[in-house]
Chain A
């Protein structure tokens, strides 16, 4: 009995001692700025930031790398006050949800810093009139063509279709043009646009012109002309992106829309970066491509960690500076967003190729529209269904385009208020 009582007393005393150690948990150093990034950007950011340690006087920067972009998003969604980053390098489409949910904090840039970027790039990172980060790199697609199959750059969409039909049997082609990067909505937008379904157009002041968006009739008729044989697909443009990259690399598809994050795979297979926008129906016109930016986004955790001003300084001194972007993109190999870095001699042919394709036909991806469910449906998720409905199920190209156009208009009408 006595032993039992001593046992109880011992356990309770040890427990009380243990609990007392929990009362004042150690806090992170208030001079450390924590940056979260994915498996590609993270290691490169860590190297660049470490190489020049004084981006923000008196502060150290710790880069935390996640195994994938999805893992990063997942972690950021679940981040808490204690665990969350001060800056996260993420997609522009994180801005509306992050801002709405109170995970991202607004930042005001000086005119001098703003002047370093194309104004439309800020549209991507803006929610309800407030900016939530700075543009870091450009994510865009461009069309690459296989010079072993076609000798020169096509001038029109029709020329590509003709080439495909002429070579189909002799070269064993499985398709003419396919989407290898960005999926059948974002990546395929250049095809939507080339055939007449523009998301939005911009006026000379950078404002959005909504009235001329998504001409369903013109687009649907062009789909019938260029992609169909009666009610069936003519085989030129597959309805899904599955297998596109492999088939292009294998030489069974002459034209492919590829993402700038994977150009090295194509170079490794011996392809030169002969990149261009998807040609339009008329010569000299091109399909518009979503040229979204990834942003270094300021989080609300920075203020809770007591490093808000330090994090803002890191955003302007490193992420939004020519020096920072040149150093970073020398490793990351994406087209830089900052104008000075774009003009730098260290930019590679591929970065330049994607950059020039974007300058010819790039438009910003606006998350407020694309991710909105305003009107009951989501353009982002619905666009792939158009290709399936028409090219596989044989539904009417114009009628289905009208449905997609309605979703687009409902999304943009609802999303206007979020800009």
Chain B
């Protein structure tokens, strides 16, 4: 079992995400994270799916995803052939802000993106290990709320999707 990133290039039609996730459900494979956004081409969406599975099952998933009528192309990559990033938000009570926390924020390159009378919101982008490390520390600072995005990723190879979109 390994971590893989699956890219799905698809028409932006209602229900397409459902059709894709059904394929994972049928095979009993859990989706670790999923993000969807418009691609740089109008009307075409890209969905990024992170799974932990064997390569053999990922190949079959990709084949079956590509079989969906409105899917243009699907690829899979191992972690070292994609550049990826996740974003995490941490909500901390103002009462716990002190110089120790300020040091931690600096060390992790986190940013304060909102300051309210009762709380501040920190933001950190990076790989899961990095955002997780900060999470563990902030738990000792009365962390009120935490949210982490799925992975957004681009492939390292130079191939573009234009050739699949006539």
Whether A associates with B in a native complex is no
